[in-house]
Amino acid sequence: MGVQARAAAHRLAQLSAAEKNAILLGMAAGLRSATESVMAANALDLQAAADKGLAPAMLDRLRLDAPRLEAIALGIEQVATLKDPVGDVMDAWQRPNGIRIEQVRVPIGVIGIIYESRPNVTSDASVLCLKSGNATILRGGSEAIHSNKAIAAALQAGGEAAGLPEHAIQLIPFTDRESVAAMAGMDKYLDLIIPRGGKGLIETVVALARMPVIKHYDGICHMFIDAEADGEMAAALVVDSKTQKPGVCNALETLLIHAEVAPRLLPAIAAKLAEKGVELRGDARTRQILGAAAKPATEEDWHAEYLDLILAIKVVPSLDAAVAHINEYGSHHTDAIVTADEVAAERFMHEVDSACVFHNVSTRFADGEEFGFGAEIGISTDKLHARGPMALRELTSYQYRLRGTGQTKGR
Amino acid sequence: MGVQARAAAHRLAQLSAAEKNAILLGMAAGLRSATESVMAANALDLQAAADKGLAPAMLDRLRLDAPRLEAIALGIEQVATLKDPVGDVMDAWQRPNGIRIEQVRVPIGVIGIIYESRPNVTSDASVLCLKSGNATILRGGSEAIHSNKAIAAALQAGGEAAGLPEHAIQLIPFTDRESVAAMAGMDKYLDLIIPRGGKGLIETVVALARMPVIKHYDGICHMFIDAEADGEMAAALVVDSKTQKPGVCNALETLLIHAEVAPRLLPAIAAKLAEKGVELRGDARTRQILGAAAKPATEEDWHAEYLDLILAIKVVPSLDAAVAHINEYGSHHTDAIVTADEVAAERFMHEVDSACVFHNVSTRFADGEEFGFGAEIGISTDKLHARGPMALRELTSYQYRLRGTGQTKGR
């Protein structure tokens, strides 16, 4: 599969944007015409999951129905409308000796995607890789294996009818641990692995991989209400960040509030959160202010990614203390300050070492779509190559092209 | 050391370009005032190396004298004159909802450098990391341990007198394998490891590292003389690429020549190479043309990075065959075409999957200085984050800063 993917990657790198877009439309058509077979395959996965006693939330993540499949097809068509990053001249200059240098975006090559239950990743990931000129080797989870195979077959059939190179998208038909280990050792054939799933999966890939891995770890996101914060804005931003969709990585997990304004602002914020059913866990000072409305927070709460209607709250004496807390306990994903003080906001954004730092914006905006990228393959918590929302541009590498007239280094 | 480096990195990230430049000048001064102690330490290393019977070339790489130390100090001062990449706004835009987004360069954090014999790397690497706002943990080879300790101490003393944060540059005082393994597992404290040395060292780091590694593997560089090449230019470029400095990664190792022009051009090129003492190893067709002037090449020669006055030569039937050979046997470092045919040149540069692709330019120009970067930490043969000459810009990450007016995702 690795050899085949390399050959496909070479052909993909030569395709024009128009050719790739035609292939994408073919893939969407292929998926639509395979609706019945995909749903039949999905029924097998759902039955197996029910037999295993999987939780309803897990079953829902696994379920494909006609509207969900149509949404996946529309997603593919939307990617066809995005700008192709390949061939972009990132930088160009001329040297005194007359050599002209261009730095040009090129595809990465072959990308391995290792993911867990949700079968839509089979389409989402391979489509973004294709648009950026990369071949993919997919390895999905056992729960969705029938669905994944059916989706991959539909994408391949529809794509190949429209010019998709053979082996550009390959799905590993195994879901055991050995297949992850095998991929992790394929550094000759895989230029990058992106694991999408729980911490256990990511840890396994990181420990084994010989090639670069871009990780999408957890989001322990903070919001700091500064002494100069507008109370209403702060309440609205906290409620939105925590409750608009609590189960995602850009949801708020810990609220920090400046001691000067905590007594005045916390009760109203707590009341609004209570209306939304949020459980509060506060430090000693928070509980002095809120009383029984907040349970006591322990050290574990500052490390927690609840992904649920729970919020840890800490009163801090200063901006410096807020920054120090975030840099120590956060996951370097997304952290926000609410303040009318521009100087404080700039200091916060310069000193917090996170992929996304926000001033007077809900943490929920840490998202490729909201950034205007059209689609994202995830939110990188790494610092190398891609950080934060990772979209088409981050699925490319670059190459230096030098044009001269016979320049030699010796005289 | 990891904890200390993290704290230092936080302080380094807040320094202005002027502050960092003052520190660099202090480091250069520190090194100059420590000339005697560094040379005394170097004498210990040289003695130990001589006792071990190290080859003269190795001894020369290890040797520091007053002119070499002055060159290192001048190198530090030159880095002070380079533009600081930190804080550069790489991209900025506004969303329809009014949120302003900036993508800003920030330091990576803590960078581990693992290197072998040459003690100047102690200065070169830590200075480039410092200029880009990163803390470093250095682990040099056993042959240069006394020199490395003396240089690191001189840089620290001179730097700290000029404001260098404590622990910004740390040298591991051990040179055993365990210290490499320990660094490779420090993914909480090291954001990146750059191994500089032989293949064995790099392989060890790649196998063990849990964090990103940027590799500087070998340079199996090719030059393809196309059917439309100017004979004189081709000969000059081949001779320069092969002989101007044969022991480096951007030196030519394999010459490919189009069958149409091989009988006419090869003899003159071979004669010029013979004048420079280059041993030729050709395929069957090359030997038909050159006779006894070329030894027979074996499969191994196409894989060889000679780093010596030896050149493999192959006659190919077409541009496609040249591209296929390079993509199969090359190391994706630097490959050049010589031709007057612009269409052929563009096809070559688009289809050869290497960090640097050149048209009518000697391969010896694959170099950060020659690109105008001022200094380089190496030439990456990886595709992620940094590819090709790796300089200050490639020692940075980025951060998204969003500024809003209370935007929430829910209505």
Q: Indicate the pLDDT class of residue A407, thresholds 50, 70 and 90.
A: very high
Work out whether the CA dihedral B326, B327, B330, B335 comes out positive or negative: positive
Structural domains for chain A: 2-215+382-402 (3.40.605.10), 221-370 (3.40.309.10)
Interatomic CA distance for residues B364 and B305, integer angstroms: 15
- pTM here is 0.93
For residue B308, the SS3 value is coil
Interatomic CA distance for residues A216 and A389, integer angstroms: 10
ipTM: 0.94
Q: Indicate the pLDDT class of residue B134, thresholds 50, 70 and 90.
A: very high
Mutate: best of A83, A99, A351, partner B, most B CBs <10 A: A99
Residue B383 to residue A360, Cβ atoms within 8 A = no
Q: Which residue from A192, A187, A165, A113 is spatially nearest to A8, judged by alpha carbons?
A: A165
Q: Indicate the pLDDT class of residue A53, thresholds 50, 70 and 90.
A: very high
| pLDDT, tens digit (0-9, with 9 covering 90-100), for A101-119 | 999 999 999 999 999 878 9
Tell me whether A360 touches chain B (CB under 8 Å).
yes
Tell me whether B276 touches chain A (CB under 8 Å).
no
Tell me whether A195 touches chain B (CB under 8 Å).
no
CA A120 to chain centre: 14
Of the candidates B359, B406, B409, the beta carbon closest to that of A244 is on: B409
Q: Under a CB-based contact definition with an 8 Å cutoff, are residues B200 and B193 in contact?
A: no
Interatomic CA distance for residues A374 and A368, integer angstroms: 7
At A216 the pLDDT is: 86
Q: Which residue from A192, A183, A151 is spatially nearest to A36, judged by alpha carbons?
A: A151
Residues of A (104-163) whose Cβ lies below 8 Å from B: 106, 108-109
Q: Is the pLDDT of residue A269 over 80?
A: yes
Structure tokens at B51: 């006792």
Of the candidates A14, A357, A404, the beta carbon closest to that of B399 is on: A357
Of the candidates B372, B399, B406, the beta carbon closest to that of A360 is on: B406
Task: Give how far Cα B137 sits from Cα of B38, B192, B195, B390, Å.
Answer: 20, 10, 12, 19
Burial (CB count <10 Å: 0-12, 13-18, 19+), residue A317:
exposed
Q: Indicate the pLDDT class of residue A293, thresholds 50, 70 and 90.
A: very high
The three-point CA angle A344-B109-A305 to 5° equals: 70
Alpha helices per DSSP H over B16-142? 17-33, 35-52, 56-62, 66-81, 120-131
H or E stretch at B357: strand B356-361
Say which residue the tokens 């001329």 belong to.
Answer: A94
Judged by average pLDDT, the poorest of A339-353, A370-384, A388-402 is: A370-384
Q: In one letter, which amino acid is A61? A: R
Rg (CA), chain A: 24
Q: Is the pLDDT of residue B411 over 80?
A: no
| pLDDT, tens digit (0-9, with 9 covering 90-100), for B88-106 | 999 999 999 999 999 999 9
DSSP label of B213: B
Interatomic CA distance for residues B260 and B236, integer angstroms: 19
Residue A365 to residue B406, Cβ atoms within 8 A = no
DSSP label of A213: B
At A123 the pLDDT is: 95
Number of Cβ within a 10 Å radius of residue A384: 22
Interatomic CA distance for residues B143 and B311, integer angstroms: 32
Mean pLDDT for chain A?
96
**Contacts with A327 from chain B: Cβ below 8 Å:** 10
Rg (CA), chain B: 24
| pLDDT, tens digit (0-9, with 9 covering 90-100), for B385-395 | 999 999 999 99
Tell me whether B401 touches chain A (CB under 8 Å).
yes
- Order across the sheet with B279-282: list the strands: A89-94, A100-107, A396-407, B356-361, B334-338, B221-225, B252-258, B310-316, B279-282, B294-296
CA distance B243 to chain A (A): 9
Interatomic CA distance for residues B407 and B411, integer angstroms: 10
**Percent of chain B clearing pLDDT 90 (strictly above):** 91
Alpha helices per DSSP H over A291-371? 299-302, 319-329, 342-351, 368-371
At B218 the pLDDT is: 87
List all residues 6 or more positions away from B190 whose beta carbon is below 8 Å from its beta carbon. B2, B5, B110, B111, B112, B137, B183, B211
Judged by average pLDDT, the poorest of A49-63, A161-175, B95-109, B355-369 is: A49-63
Residues of B (70-99) whose Cβ lies below 8 Å from A: 93, 95, 99
The three-point CA angle A285-A286-A291 to 5° equals: 105
Residue B210 to residue A207, Cβ atoms within 8 A = yes
Residue B384 to residue A212, Cβ atoms within 8 A = yes
Q: Is the pLDDT of residue B131 over 90?
A: yes
| pLDDT, tens digit (0-9, with 9 covering 90-100), for B17-56 | 999 999 999 999 999 999 999 999 999 999 999 999 988 8
Residue B407 to residue A360, Cβ atoms within 8 A = yes
| pLDDT, tens digit (0-9, with 9 covering 90-100), for B360-380 | 999 999 999 999 998 889 899
Q: Indicate the pLDDT class of residue A198, thresholds 50, 70 and 90.
A: confident
At A117 the pLDDT is: 74
